[in-house]
Homo-oligomer: A and B are copies of this chain.
């Protein structure tokens, strides 16, 4: 096994360094941490000694004194899903490599397990917690009797006095529709996902609002079912049978949009010339491999993660964050399914 016992048999400690350098613990500590009250020559001696035995300060002991650990817990229920990861990356990014470390816990959707994880995190004295949900539906709050700040990301807390950050799905729906309008489309339908998801409802609201603002109406009703390609194929087939004159489709996910593209192709409709299609999520692997490539709404999840991390930071530093759910802006990524490419 890749394990090399140090010569001493244990990791080097500060007193080892002090002994070798011929100074006291206190002096060694000061020298290494760059505090003054240490003569340059002494400092050099200490640092050399430290390097010699490759001393690294025990972060545990440090944390014990400092009262903060420089760790943050990330509690999720949806590692499998693709939404958590970018958020996690954003958070890790914001925390800065090496400064703060993230404890990752996946509760697998089990409330008991979540409690366990939470307790473990608190025992480890994390400085803060980010809770990442699997959908944008509100989730139960962890409560307020926790000794550390908590920020909810993606899925907001159901308690309005908690701090939550979530993507702005209404704005996303609106943005998608406005793009189709800008592309000259007027007969637009909306194929959505599972109606039980707040995300589906919110995006539909945005779509409707934008249409109303333009003095238009949706062609047919919003079509709800699930988030799959299958549904995208079926829904669009039904849609075109009923409304052959349609010229734009807003899809509530890229998967749905992929299905829609398939059907349109089968039916001989050209995209985007005959029908423009826009997806949602900007899941690159899907969006950039379709024919044509898929215009989509990107929820800026990495930025969401950064925002969550920033708020945790502020709270740790004692800055009062404003409670409530903060909807973060999304962005449009234009590809060939709405605007023809050479």
Residues of A with Cβ closer than 8 Å to B?
A: 1-6, 10-11, 56-61, 63-64, 67, 69, 71, 74, 79-80, 82, 85-86, 88-89, 92, 97-98, 101-107, 113, 116-117, 119-125, 141-150, 161-163, 228-230, 233, 255, 258-259, 262, 285, 289-291, 315, 320-321, 323
In the bound complex, CA of A143 to CA of B102 (Å)? 24
23 of the cross-chain contacts (CB-CB < 8 Å) are A1-B315, A1-B320, A2-B150, A2-B162, A3-B149, A6-B147, A11-B147, A59-B120, A59-B124, A60-B63, A60-B64, A60-B124, A64-B64, A71-B124, A79-B85, A80-B85, A88-B104, A92-B106, A97-B107, A97-B117, A101-B120, A102-B104, A259-B289
Contact of A147 among B5, B119, B290 (CB under 8 A): B5
Partner of A146, one of B4, B60, B116, B320: B4
Question: How far, in whole Å, are A117 and B107 apart by their CA atoms in the complex?
Answer: 25
In the complex, what distance in Å separates the CA atom of A3 from the CA atom of B10?
Answer: 39
A104 to B226, CA, bound (A): 32
* A1-B323, A2-B142 known; A102+B101 contact, CB < 8 A: no
If A1-B163, A103-B103, A104-B104 touch, does A289 touch B124 (CB 8 Å cutoff)? no
Copies of this chain, complex-wide, total 2
Q: Which of B59, B80, B120 contacts A125 (CB 8 A)?
A: B59
Indicate whether A2 sits within 8 Å of B149 (C-beta atoms), given known contacts A80-B85, A80-B89, A89-B79: yes
Evaluate contact between B105 and A101: CB separation under 8 angstroms: yes
Query: Smallest distance from the beta carbon of A308 to chain B beta carbons, Å?
Result: 13
Closest residue on chain B to residue A289 by CB atoms: B229
A1, A10, A58, A291 — which one has the most chain B CB atoms within 10 A of its CB? Answer: A1
